[in-house]
Amino acid sequence: MVAKTKDTKLLYAVLLGVVAVAGILILGLSKSTEINAAVTFDRELLEEPYPGCFDNDPQNYFDFKGFVKSKKYLYHDYCRDGKLFQVYCVTSKRVAMTRGYECPKGCEAGACLS
């Protein structure tokens, strides 16, 4: 009976490890990048903090320059090297950014050219 208990604990430990690794991989392969100090983005300080998160372009249209209000910042969609980076609300308290979308006709002022 002692051997079965050790085997069961080992099985649970292995399963927990597999689930943890799978979770890390899923988070690492997501299509968004959490906004943090390592990511360059266009933002400005709000005069008054905004409680929650507001996205004026929740569908993330490529030809529309959107913005997000969250906490003490106003974040803007922006262009870099012909790619469009769009900000959006993940939750009422979290803002994220899409990976760069290659605009077919170029990108200017936070939107793809039509």
Which pLDDT does position 9 carry in this prediction? 73
pTM of the predicted protein model: 0.64
Tokens of 51: 């409680």
Confidence of residue 93 (pLDDT cuts 50, 70, 90): confident
- What letter does residue 59 receive in the DSSP assignment? T
Predicted confidence (pLDDT) at residue 40 exceeds the cutoff of 60: yes
Identify which has the larger pLDDT, 7 or 19: 7
The pLDDT tens digits for 45-72 are: 999 999 999 999 999 999 999 999 999 9
Q: How far is CA 18 from CA 5, 10, 55, 80, in A?
A: 20, 12, 36, 38
Which pLDDT does position 5 carry in this prediction? 74
